[in-house]
Structure 1
């Protein structure tokens, strides 16, 4: 069927929706030609019979990935308007502009078929209610999702190659910086270096993260913290969580480590981190750069933390001590501890004799 014949008068009575999207803000700024091509689809709608006031442009998803529609406000609005019968045609430069996820794509196709809404891309016009067009659109969606998988695999492969060589640049913990050549060196600020060195010396002396925090608090020492993506330092009170992170971080022992955690994505888009065992780290290269402690001291610190944790678990799991004398009831023991006769206990006074 001729593409123009698919456009019927009842389609023209409704609006034509143009969906414009780029995957990242960098693409929005640099790949302006793609944006121009997407906006140029308005001319296709005008040629098919839609007036300018009937063409609705949705471009609020600029800089949003098409991997999922859950956080794309513009796509959600598009699906809603199609389902309410407001759209006669949905236009996108290609399938990947609308969705990279097959579930989102087929959801849109199903709604378009039920609402008798056409779909237009750079190659032509499709009627989702038609089997042949629906099949072709489904294949395009599958190829778009596969393309996203290939792009991610290539990017991931390049990162892992750098990781295996210890060359992939990660966010450094407080106490380390990159020099002009990209090498990891100790922080040039002597106050930062001395404070971190004193932290590990204190832990070696007291043997506990919480006790180390108490020493810093007692001596009125503040701990440096370099804000992420910022070049300035802030000094604040040392916390137990910060102390544990430092003691568990192998970079303070001069080791390059990557992949100590993996992230599981939830349905709402949030990522939940989970620690990996050391044998499952993606990379661990000792003596990769200068450190504040040796690798042996790092492992000894971990052993101390594990021992402290086991002692805490034993204390928590121990049953409460029962120091009642043989034959003494719980009520009599309570009265003894309160230094009161049993008759004066509140619960005893509230008890009423049974009616005969």
Structure 2
């Protein structure tokens, strides 16, 4: 499967193929014209796939690697100087390439490093988690976290290509398959009722895996369409943030240690839909449909956090434009809209 994100000079291909990780050079050789490639990965992912990737690349390139500890805590702003030092020690130049090998944390971190080191060098995404494959590896948004909130220091840096091998999902802990399903459910909620109905029709994860290539393709294609229309996240692309305003605040509240990104987004989607139903903005029963989908994939629907404790992080949300937060709400499953409001939309006396 092959998709192209059409962004003029920043256009790139997305390849989805089981076993693709065994044939990386076929895709990279036409793109990587320098002499060196630096792989940025985490300790878990690199232990699975690092040697395989390095052996292929070493036939044509001088290859190095930077390994960080797995988890959101490695996407901190203060981790950057050490990574830059390692790139300098490797004598990486502007004609060389960085490869992000890992999940969403590594894609964001490596992409931000590539966007800033030497004022920007080429990078390639090899996402190995479901969440990264269906969402974060596509679209060019890269960032690191600050103590005050998630993704507050970032850039737009498009990869030269994205290589998705669904077989890498076989090494994921089940929790992180569920985590990725939070973003998949999101796509069904905002854009594709048929996809949503398909997701809630499966009776086992084996059934899901049989269709995983098609599910990844559908999510990526939906994101491609939106990114091509709205490159810088001021219009249609805001829809992709459904559940994220609350979700990011929940992640930050727990210092990125209790809920994964997909889990927090699931909570945000459900809780915000409950609120918008009460306001008559969302069709009655929609929130319950979302909860059923979350339950099916063992995703939480409530964090038991007082809203008043989340509002500081929510006020710093990147979707805060002209002192208004652009909440993404649903009319019903498959049909979303942007609702400009402020934090008063969410009653601070309640828990989410």
Q: By the TM > 0.5 criterion, same fold?
A: no
**Between Structure 1 and Structure 2, whose CA radius of gyration is higher?**
1
Flag the structure with higher strand content: 2
Higher relative contact order (CA 8 A, sep 6+): 2
TM-score by length of 1: 0.30
TM-score by length of 2: 0.30
